[in-house]
Amino acid sequence: MIQFLLQSSWWVPCYGLIGAILTLPWSTGIVRHTGPRPAAYFNLFMTVLSFLHGAIVFRATWNQPPQAIVFHWFHAADLDLTFVLDISAVSVGAMELVTGLSLLAQLFALGYMEKDWALARFFGLMGFFEGAMSGLAISNSLLLTYALLEMLTLSTYLLVGFWYAQPLVVTAARDAFLTKRVGDILLLMGVVALFTLSGTGSFSELYEWADTVTLAPTTATLLGFALIAGPTGKCAQFPLHLWLDEAMEGPNPASILRNSVVVACGAYVLIKLQPILNLSPIALSALVVIGATTAIGASLVAIAQIDIKRALSHSTSAYLGLVFIAIGTQWTGFALMLLFAHAISKALMFMSVGSVITTTHNQDLTEMGGLWSRMPVTTSAYVMASAGLIGILPLGGFWALRLGMDDFWTADPLLVGVVLVVNALTALNLTRVFRLVFLGSSQPKTRRAPEVGWAMAVPMVSLIIVTLLTPVMMDRLSVLPDWAYFNHTAALLLVLSGIVGCALGSTIYLHKAWSRSVHLPWRVLQDLLSYDFYVERLYAVSVVKGVVLMARFSNWCDRYIVDGMVNFLGIASIFSGESLKYSITGQSQAYLLTILVAVSLLGGFLIWFAW
């Protein structure tokens, strides 16, 4: 039985897609008399099946060599399109993390979206979301990986634009889709080039090819830039980082997955591509620069936001920036460990935020306060998520960041400073949000805020327990350090950076009426950070304006040159026809003579031109 489940492990991503298909009768309005809840239950049931199936497979693959499941899709001449799935402890563990968090997010959505008229459509999209991420976790084929990334882009567009009756939501969905498409198109160019150069799409064979091939520096650099473009967009890294902030306009249960595992999928693909990126040192350096810029910049931007979801979404970009640094410096163990710890803590954090939003019907931090006594479970969830995210001993965030400190300690001391700064700024921001939301005096919108119901409380309590057990899971995975080699100095600096951040967040003056500071120097700095260093305006006067000018020039050419030539030929035909109708005699001899003269003149012209 275990062997059968192991060989059929490719079914785990299909469960989510089947659940999405089962919701169609309700989401399309074919079934109305039962209400939309049966669709949600169908999708939840399929997610439970995928979680249980994945758990059995994970146990069977523990301490076992990886296995490959091969699907021959298309073969003609030299073109062989084969899909390969990697069944190993790492890939199945990543898939199990996706299905587990998806299950909790869907349970949370039962309470959060209880009265939404499109509940069936939402759960169908969540099943589609889950299937794409689960397949991406075990994919060992470059072509299949790219196809699944495209499914994630489509899912993001549909979920961000779920409440499509609101103009701001439509704009956010459009911007998120187009921003990701920029990276996806460049990634497609890299996939095609890599397939052409290597002749294979299997990651295992690509690794063997990368160990032996010698590429020209220019070719290797362009290939590396193309391959990192897609994950840069997926992980909301500079300069393709603006979409995650706008994506917060979508439903909060989707934001739980988006900020925990969806953005991590791009980094997971980048980890798989890391042996190929080693062919280009410039591409690896670019990863470090992109990651460091995003990590520090997003941490600074987060502390100036007054929307609770946007304040936390920027910290997601910051932590993924640290992952980019780890991949660029070839410390993939640190990257995987940070992705694992961050996913659990950030999912719990967005659950607590969703509870606040659903009870107060508000996302503005300046209109909140005094919720700790009214929402004890939500407060505990936020505190535990914050502790698990920053370097507080002994939770998972501490062990993940400590590993990065050890990796960078001797070779890259500047990157140690980046980790400490990001940890301190994140602690400052999370403490600031905690003070504004849960402490202080009650505001009109928080005075009668009750605790959430069981459908939202159970997933939060479950994730609190999982966050507490994260170090135990890390110990079972044998990733915790041996105490004989423990870097006490690095651990002490990490803890101190978190304490300094919490202290600053606890002592800075937070006036709820200050949407903008009354003091000019502070107002300039606050606007600089709150408007994301004016990157969007910079794009508006550069890229967007350039595209608009090109579009106007193309429109002018089409209207006055192409259409002008066509209209000229039409007018000339009409004029010549109207002129010739007066020379019609009805005598065939005259027609033959005209044709003969015309042909003779044409032939003479061609002979003269050839001569």
Do 159 and 198 lie in one domain? The reply is yes
pLDDT for residue 510: 65
Q: DSSP alpha helices (H): ranges in 113-238?
A: 119-138, 142-160, 167-198, 203-212, 217-234
Q: Please check whether residue 397 lies inside any domain of the structure.
A: yes
pLDDT for residue 101: 92
Do 438 and 496 lie in one domain? The reply is yes
Band the pLDDT of 430: cuts 50, 70, 90: very high
Q: Mind listing the pLDDT tens digit for each residue in 76-119?
A: 666 667 788 888 888 888 899 999 999 999 999 988 888 888 88
> Who wins on pLDDT, 281 or 370?
281
Do 514 and 574 lie in one domain? The reply is no
Q: Please check whether residue 78 lies inside any domain of the structure.
A: no
H-helix or E-strand spanning residue 73: strand 67-76
Q: Please check whether residue 37 lies inside any domain of the structure.
A: no
How many other β-carbons are positioned within 10 Å of the β-carbon of residue 408? 22
End-to-end CA distance of the chain: 85
Domain membership of residue 165 as a residue range: 141-530
pLDDT for residue 87: 85
Q: Which of 482, 514, 530 is the last residue of a domain?
A: 530
Give the Å distances, CA to CA, from 503 to 174, 305, 380, 461. 40, 19, 20, 27
Do 459 and 602 lie in one domain? The reply is no
Q: Please check whether residue 219 lies inside any domain of the structure.
A: yes
Do 518 and 593 lie in one domain? The reply is no
Do 465 and 573 lie in one domain? The reply is no
Question: Looking at residues 125-133, what average pLDDT do you find?
Answer: 89
Band the pLDDT of 141: cuts 50, 70, 90: confident
Residue 581: DSSP 8-state: G
Do 484 and 586 lie in one domain? The reply is no
Band the pLDDT of 426: cuts 50, 70, 90: very high
Q: How many whole angstroms separate alpha carbon 565 and alpha carbon 563?
A: 5
Residue 419 has pLDDT above 70, yes or no: yes
pLDDT for residue 9: 79
Band the pLDDT of 583: cuts 50, 70, 90: low
The secondary structure of the chain in percent helix, strand, coil, rounded to multiples of 5, reads 75, 5, 20
Q: Mind listing the pLDDT tens digit for each residue in 32-61?
A: 887 788 888 889 999 999 999 888 888 888
Q: Is the pTM of this model over 0.75?
A: yes
Q: Mind listing the pLDDT tens digit for each residue in 281-316?
A: 999 999 999 999 999 999 998 888 888 888 898 899
pLDDT for residue 427: 92
Quote the tokens at residue 155: 């899912």
> Who wins on pLDDT, 106 or 369?
106
Q: How many whole angstroms separate alpha carbon 84 and alpha carbon 324?
A: 26
The fraction of the chain above a pLDDT of 70, given in percent, is 94
Q: Mind listing the pLDDT tens digit for each residue in 506-541?
A: 887 666 544 555 555 667 777 788 777 788 888 888
Nearest residue to 245 (alpha-carbon basis) of 253, 236, 254 = 236
- Angle ∠(488,494,496) on CA atoms, nearest 5: 100
Q: Please check whether residue 496 lies inside any domain of the structure.
A: yes
Q: Mean pLDDT over all residues of the chain?
A: 85
Do 503 and 574 lie in one domain? The reply is no
Q: Which of 512, 530, 548 is the last residue of a domain?
A: 530
Answer for the pair 234, 183: CB distance below 8 angstroms, yes or no: yes
Answer for the pair 445, 362: CB distance below 8 angstroms, yes or no: yes
Residue 271 has pLDDT above 60, yes or no: yes
Residue 87 main-chain phi, psi, to 5 deg: -105, 95
pLDDT for residue 464: 92
Q: How many whole angstroms separate alpha carbon 363 and alpha carbon 374?
A: 17
Q: Please check whether residue 128 lies inside any domain of the structure.
A: no
Do 146 and 286 lie in one domain? The reply is yes
Q: Please check whether residue 424 lies inside any domain of the structure.
A: yes
Q: Tell me how far the alpha carbon of residue 139 is from its chain's centroid.
A: 17
Do 580 and 461 lie in one domain? The reply is no
Size (the chain), residues: 611
Band the pLDDT of 582: cuts 50, 70, 90: low
pLDDT for residue 7: 75
Q: Please check whether residue 42 lies inside any domain of the structure.
A: no
Question: Looking at residues 454-480, what average pLDDT do you find?
Answer: 86
The type of residue at 303 is I
Do 516 and 604 lie in one domain? The reply is no
pLDDT for residue 382: 92
How many other β-carbons are positioned within 10 Å of the β-carbon of residue 65? 7
Domain count within the chain:
2
Nearest residue to 83 (alpha-carbon basis) of 68, 93, 94 = 68
Quote the tokens at residue 215: 């590429």
Specify the residue for token string 């109708």. 581
Q: Which of 509, 530, 551 is the last residue of a domain?
A: 530
pLDDT for residue 375: 87
pLDDT for residue 346: 92
Do 303 and 399 lie in one domain? The reply is yes
Band the pLDDT of 324: cuts 50, 70, 90: very high
pLDDT for residue 54: 87
pLDDT for residue 543: 80
Quote the tokens at residue 516: 């903008």
